[in-house]
């Protein structure tokens, strides 16, 4: 599982002391090759953390030999000092492992606007390097957790090759391209251009369609590293499918562990004129606080679905809209449909189907309900 499921990778997760809690807070993933091909997608938030700015530059060359990730501090909105700290972290990794700092990606997560304790982080890099192992994927996944209650890993197997990965993310979880830290590894032998294409396709349909709380992070990073150690070059479609499978699995785990959530809401928009329309409508429903409260209260309040659809620019006629909640079509032709008392909402997963009756395009967006626990967790986070 995790980032060491594929051959050619070592990883470690250790406690550097960045977190006051004493929980693991530093992860290192190393690609031992023979290939160092890599691709990455990053937050589209215009306020980007220092490690995002750094790693975007690193990824331009399509080569990554190591990734260092810390929890306990986002290193976002930290000015020139923050960028220097990221640079120093990459240099330290390069120094300890005999690599080129320009091939070391950096990712950080935690509170915005606080500089990292470099006196703890840099010695931590040495500890992590000493702990690197072909079985360290699980520990690395644990070390990148913030408010996550569980660590997240996934794997997909091809014919003689593997794609594995780890993810963290529980709040500030809405697509920007992606909304979390994710590292995927594969031992398949593919050029960086193919990795890039497969990763962009996969994130567009998975992480980019997760919208837990409408809040886009400054630190989102999704990396895909290929070692070529399996000495197999799979057909592109087959490889892209495996990457999407792993991303989908991790995205679903993120929603299932979102801060304070009691429901996972699968919003399927059908009958849209375009895919963009379907995504816009799905997101509008996903972000409607009143609907999210209603789902929490197990109330099939379809009027709030319609009022959310009505704020979009998608093609539809109000008197042709249909809405199902857990397969009961409670709204037909923009008006009262089947009896809402038929809707059973006891289970964690709730399915909303919105039919725009305007075409044949579809999209699925995953969201969470809005709960008092979310409020409690996020009104006390930094204090």
**Sheet harboring 221-226: ordered strands across?**
37-42, 221-226, 181-186, 162-168, 152-157
CA dist., res. 48 & res. 107, Å (int): 12
218 binds its own copies (CB under 8 A): yes
How far, in Å, are 71, 123, 134, 169, 373 from residue 97 at the CA level?
A: 21, 14, 16, 28, 43
Is residue 179 annotated as part of the catalytic site, yes or no?
Answer: yes
Residue with Cβ nearer its own copies (134 or 297)? 297
54 binds its own copies (CB under 8 A): no
Residue with Cβ nearer its own copies (23 or 307)? 307
99 binds its own copies (CB under 8 A): no
- Single residue of 34, 57, 61, 111 touching its own copies by CB under 8 A: 111
Q: How far is the CB of 215 from its own copies (least distance, A)?
A: 5
Please provide the DSSP assignment of 12-54 as one string. EEE--S-STT----EEEEEE--S--EEEEEE---SS--HHHHH
Residue with Cβ nearer its own copies (109 or 162)? 109
Residues 6 or more apart whose Cβ sits within 8 Å of residue 239 = 158, 161, 163, 186, 188, 190, 194, 198
SS3 218: coil
Residues in region 75-94 near its own copies by CB under 8 A: 76-79, 81-82
CA dist., res. 259 & res. 216, Å (int): 15
CA dist., res. 176 & res. 208, Å (int): 7
Exactly one of 15, 147, 162, 179 is catalytic; name it: 179
- Single residue of 86, 217, 221, 353 touching its own copies by CB under 8 A: 217
253 binds its own copies (CB under 8 A): no
* Interface map 297-336 toward its own copies (x if CB under 8 A): x-x-xxxx-xxxxxxx---x-xx-x---------x-xxxx
CA dist., res. 29 & res. 65, Å (int): 9
Q: How far is the CB of 277 from its own copies (least distance, A)?
A: 13
42 binds its own copies (CB under 8 A): no
- Window contacting its own copies (CB under 8 A); options: 18-26, 33-41, 85-93, 106-114: 106-114
Q: What is the DSSP letter of 320?
A: G
- Residues contacting its own copies: total by CB under 8 A: 67
Burial class from Cβ neighbours inside 10 Å (0-12, 13-18, 19+) for residue 123 reads: middle
366 binds its own copies (CB under 8 A): no
Please identify every residue annotated as catalytic. Answer: 179
Q: List residues binding its own copies (CB under 8 A).
A: 45-48, 74, 76-79, 81-82, 111-115, 171-172, 176, 213-218, 287-290, 293-294, 296-297, 299, 301-304, 306-312, 316, 318-319, 321, 331, 333-336, 370-372, 374-383
């Amino acid at each position: 599982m995790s980032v060491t499921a594929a051959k050619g990778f070592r990883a470690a997760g250790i406690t550097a002391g960045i977190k006051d809690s004493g929980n693991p807070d530093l992860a290192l993933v190393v690609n031992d090759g023979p290939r160092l091909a890599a691709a990455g997608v990053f937050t589209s938030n215009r306020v980007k953390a220092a490690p995002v700015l750094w790693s975007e530059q690193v990824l331009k060359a399509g080569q990554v030999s190591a990734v260092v990730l810390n929890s306990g501090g986002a290193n976002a909105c930290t000015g020139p000092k923050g960028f220097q700290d990221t640079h120093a972290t990459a240099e330290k990794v390069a120094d300890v492992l005999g690599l080129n700092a320009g091939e070391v990606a950096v990712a950080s997560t935690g509170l915005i606007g606080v500089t990292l304790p470099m006196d703890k982080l840099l010695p931590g890099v040495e500890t992590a390097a000493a702990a690197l192992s072909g079985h360290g994927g699980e520990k690395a996944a644990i070390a990148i957790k913030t408010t996550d209650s569980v660590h997240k890993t996934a794997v997909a197997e091809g014919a003689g090759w593997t794609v594995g990965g780890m993810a963290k993310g529980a709040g500030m979880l809405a697509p920007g391209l992606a909304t979390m830290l994710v590292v995927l590894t594969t031992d398949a032998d593919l050029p960086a251009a193919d990795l890039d294409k497969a990763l962009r396709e996969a994130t567009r349909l998975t992480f980019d369609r997760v919208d837990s709380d409408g809040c886009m992070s400054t630190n989102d990073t999704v990396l895909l590293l290929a070692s070529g150690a399996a000495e197999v070059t799979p057909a592109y479609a087959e490889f892209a499918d495996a990457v999407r499978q792993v991303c989908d699995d991790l995205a679903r785990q993120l929603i299932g562990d979102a801060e304070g959530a009691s429901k996972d809401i699968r919003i399927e928009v059908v009958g849209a004129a375009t895919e963009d329309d379907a995504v816009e409508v799905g997101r509008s429903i996903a972000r409607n606080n009143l609907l999210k409260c209603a789902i929490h209260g197990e109330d099939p309040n379809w009027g709030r679905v319609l009022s959310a659809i009505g704020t979009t620019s998608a093609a539809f006629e109000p008197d042709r809209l249909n809405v199902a909640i857990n397969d009961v079509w409670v709204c037909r032709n923009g008006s009262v449909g089947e009896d809402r008392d038929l809707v059973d909402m006891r289970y964690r997963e709730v399915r909303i189907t919105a039919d725009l009756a305007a075409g044949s395009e579809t999209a699925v967006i995953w969201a969470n309900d809005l709960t008092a626990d979310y409020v409690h967790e996020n009104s006390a986070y930094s204090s």
